[in-house]
Structure 1
């Protein structure tokens, strides 16, 4: 289960190598915003060389926008590589873009980034665009600019919209977008707690120091683990809907949530030294 994603610029192979060794669950090699125009070709070639073999953890690549001068070449160069775990498609605003990318990449796992008002409005249709689409998330920097949003809470409706669209389409809960201030870890923790309350699972980071904060925010607290264990124990003893002594009602949806809580708890235990 992936909780932490770390971005690294594709034109700096040494930074990508460090990212692969700093404790993230997965790395996103960026060919788009982090790479200047003069280095787009080099970034693509360096990333293709990296992914010729399987890296030590999952590597996704954020390609350039499909309607840019580089997006099509990115898809062609990367789609068949042994070490590629998935492609992130920026600035998706219509389901046809996802379908076209899937046609060109032959079954590679795709992830759509929604970065405009029209994309958020079409979130469910995009989520159902093609079986190769494995996830949605927001590109919040561009979305804030499009909406003229000046406070983080102004994105709450958009965030909820994406969470609901992903669930309705049978996709995994989305990960939160990056938090741009790498120094303010307290604000990052607050933002992650809000994202978790909205239904997100995990978050992308732009610096390794953000990773422990994100992980702590998304792992269940001891009391949550205890409550989940109680739910599963009661469900095993009495199949079907029932009420616990503390008044909580248990049905299949509650049981599924308890399983996820315990899976996250086991994940934390497995990662402890």
Structure 2
């Protein structure tokens, strides 16, 4: 199974049905959130709103509560009466938790120390279409207080977790989804993180506010000079074998793959 949503994935609390269509219209995909975005007392209402909704299943993800909670069972019951079949499993920490979602496309949200440590195993599961990581819950699971330094950069342990999830997903040919940028007004910080996500190979970036969507889309969309370079490289490479020189750069198989990725992102946009 392949994950084809992205690059902007916008969270929307599932107890706010008046926002569902707006979120779906503004982003590439919407994540209807039954977990942290909803007050526990409002989760029953959120499930009712989920069941009454009619968004496009091809661009809708439902985030359910952790598999070892009573809320998860209620979420799953509500989900069965909908057409939505892509599920984000909060705080994924065990393989058997994912197995409870047989029949769904699952995005494993690795946001605790336990989840990060089994990212490789999760990525190998046929049910899994992608891995996402989360910084704040991870730090909380370690007993820490903040994932970022005073200058906004991730602390080493958070950066390590991000890299591990990316590598785990890549090793299994699955999509890697970058974490949300909580500082809504920090456009420059989000731009920097999106630029790095694209350069490293993330397939999408999650966000919490509509204003972040254009930043993410712009970051994932190659600029014209990149598209021109990629097309030119591939044109020259056609029919050749082995490495060759192009515009002062050595081009070999990895560089050709980079060019293919640029065109893939350009056509997706």
**Cα distance, 1:57 vs structure 2:** 5.8
Alignment of 1:1-273 (within 5 A): 1=4, 2-22=6-26, 24-51=27-54, 55=56, 58-79=59-80, 81-82=82-83, 84-102=84-102, 107-128=103-124, 130-147=125-142, 148=144, 149-151=147-149, 152-154=153-155, 155-172=158-175, 174-238=176-240, 240-245=241-246, 246-251=248-253, 253-268=254-269
**Cα distance, 1:125 vs structure 2:** 0.7
1:217-264 Cα distance to aligned partner (Å, 9 max, x none): 1222333212211221122132x332123232222x433332221122
Q: Are 1:91 and 1:114, in contact at CA under 8 Å, matched by a contact in 2? A: yes
**Cα distance, 1:159 vs structure 2:** 1.0
Q: Partner of 1:74: helix, strand, or coil?
A: helix
**Cα distance, 1:55 vs structure 2:** 2.5
Q: Partner of 1:18: helix, strand, or coil?
A: helix
1:153-205 Cα distance to aligned partner (Å, 9 max, x none): 22221111111100111212x12111111112122112222333333232111
Residue 79 and residue 109 in structure 1: after superposition, are their counterparts in 2 closer, same or farther (change >3 A)? farther
The number of equivalent residue pairs is 256
For 1:42 and 1:69, the matched residues in 2 are separated by: 16
For 2:231 and 2:148, the matched residues in 1 are separated by: 41
Q: Are 1:10 and 1:35, in contact at CA under 8 Å, matched by a contact in 2? A: yes
TM-score computed with the length of structure 2 as normaliser: 0.88
Q: Which runs of 5+ in 1 are unaligned?
A: 269-273
For 1:99 and 1:185, the matched residues in 2 are separated by: 38
Q: Partner of 2:183: helix, strand, or coil?
A: coil
For 1:85 and 1:188, the matched residues in 2 are separated by: 29
TM-score computed with the length of structure 1 as normaliser: 0.87
Q: Are 2:51 and 2:81, in contact at CA under 8 Å, matched by a contact in 1? A: no
Q: Are 1:87 and 1:111, in contact at CA under 8 Å, matched by a contact in 2? A: yes
For 2:154 and 2:228, the matched residues in 1 are separated by: 31
For 2:80 and 2:238, the matched residues in 1 are separated by: 45
**Cα distance, 1:73 vs structure 2:** 1.8
For 1:216 and 1:75, the matched residues in 2 are separated by: 35
Q: Which runs of 5+ in 2 are unaligned?
A: none
